Structure 1
Amino acid sequence: MSRNGIDFRAIIDRLFPPKYDFPKMLHEQACTALKGMDRLLDWMKSDGSINDDELMRIDMALDDSRHKMENALLEAFTTPFDRRDIYSIAHQIGEVSDFVVSTQTEMKVLGVTADEPLIRMTETLRTGMARFSDALCDVQDDPVKAEHLIREIRKAEHEIESIYIEALAKVMSKEDAIEALRRREIYHHMKDASRALGLAVDILHRIIVSIV
């Protein structure tokens, strides 16, 4: 915000220096979500033989981190970008984590084992979240690099959609309708997680465009 060549935002920032590093907080939340995906992949590849409580603990830690950040948003006089965007990104990261937890929970309830498409979707989602985490680190200091990472995340989103459609077509062609419906339910959690990540990316991209 400027008037007559005076940058009032810069003046306010000098008078009231930022107390909280919100991009760092978001980055840490994305890293926590990554830990959850790693745990889910380990659990899937072990055929459910390893401790399955860790994923829930990771998700709870992410919730705690987000709640602390929300309190910081209420206290902060200034933020590096719109506080509604900061809140929304954190919310969508939490949504991704919730879908990851739901995937494991319903696999156990429905008796569904991990197959190749499900593992591929989870690995691709992890790649997208890793790039998103990196983009959060670069959004202020190197927005051009962050923009490049956004493109990579979009590719991951499209890949998950392609895997989902291919896997769904294959499973629906089988005679066991109950098994097909069970697998569709699990596949859909990964697709929903990808959409939640996509919403977070949309918000971050809007921030990048406003900076560049």
Structure 2
Amino acid sequence: MFKRKESLNFYALLIQQAQVIRDAVAALCAFCEDPTQEKGDFVKVKEKEADTIRRQLVEDINRTFITPIDRDDLYRLSTSIDDLADYAWTTVKEVRIYDIQPDEHLLAMSRTLLQMADGLLICMQKLEKDHAGVAAEATKVKKLENALNVQFHQSIAELFETDDIKKILKYREIYSHMNHAADKGDFSADILLDIVVKL
């Protein structure tokens, strides 16, 4: 039993999870470019896949006596990056519910979010052996969150130039999903910075 526990590779699981989350955000970008049923459904497929990996990681944390990273940090990191996939699917779902088309603002923010997801994946790939590399990449992710926040406020400002209340309410909700997702990416970067200081 102890041999099984020692053989668990949390770094590999984090990389796997980050890859699927990155794919979910990439799928969101594809949907924003061409909002077909198939492309929207694929975001849900990746979101469910990310949830499955996260559940596996949490189960492994709970049955392992010693983890290479503080178990609370490991849990928080896995939960935080998973939120990116959750927001990706929520965005698709509400675009459908509100019966609107993704606009240039949503596409721009989704592309910035993809850059953040790419950066978080690189962080996971470097986490075991290249702590300086993680710190550098996590700092880039945090800067991207600032960039997306600017995009968010620009999109809201332009939205309020119209008198169409229904449009304002619908698009503001969708834009907010992107902004919240970026916040989770930023929080993930903070956790990674904390982890590399402790390792």
Equivalent residue number for residue 148 of structure 2: 160
**1:126 correspondence with 2:114:** yes
Correspondences of 1:1-212 after superposition (within 5 Å): 18-48=6-36, 50-211=38-199
Q: CA RMSD in A?
A: 1.7
Contact 2:159 2:168 in 1 (8 A): yes
Cα distance, 1:17–1:48 mapped onto 2, change above 3 Å? closer
**Partner SS for 1:53:** helix
Q: Secondary structure at the match of 2:40?
A: coil
How far did 1:17 drift? 7.9
Q: Specify every segment of 5 or more residues in structure 1 that has no aligned partner in the other structure, as ranges.
A: 1-14
Q: Distance in 2 between matches of 1:57 and 1:165?
A: 30
Q: Is the 8 A contact 1:19 1:76 kept in 2?
A: no
Q: Distance in 1 between matches of 2:113 and 2:167?
A: 24
**Structure 1 residue 183, shift from structure 2 partner:** 0.6
The C-alpha deviation readout for 1:109-136, integer Å capped at 9, x for no partner, is 1112111111111111111111111111
**TM-score for the superposition, normalised by structure 1:** 0.88
* Equivalent residue letter for 1:154: K
Query: For 1:128 and 1:55, how far apart are their aligned partners in 2?
Result: 17
Structure 2 Cα separation of the partners of residues 119 and 132 of structure 1: 20
2:7 aligned partner, one-letter code: K
| SS of aligned partner of 1:114 | coil
Equivalenced residue count is: 197
User: Contact 1:161/1:191 (CA < 8 Å) preserved in 2?
Assistant: yes
Whole-Å Cα distance in 2 between the matches of residues 100 and 145 of structure 1?
27
Deviation readout 1:37-87 (Å, 9 max, x if unpaired): 111111221133544322112111111111111111122221111011111
Q: What secondary structure sits across from 2:7 in the alignment?
A: coil
Structure with the largest fraction of helix: 2
2:23 is matched by which residue type in structure 1?
Answer: K
User: What is the identity percentage for the equivalent residue pairs of Structure 1 and Structure 2?
Assistant: 22
Partner SS, residue 6 of structure 2: coil
Decide whether the 8 Å contact of 2:5 with 2:64 is kept in 1. no
State the secondary structure of the residue aligned to 1:56: helix
Structure number, greater radius of gyration: 1
In the alignment, residue 15 of structure 2 is paired with which amino acid?
H
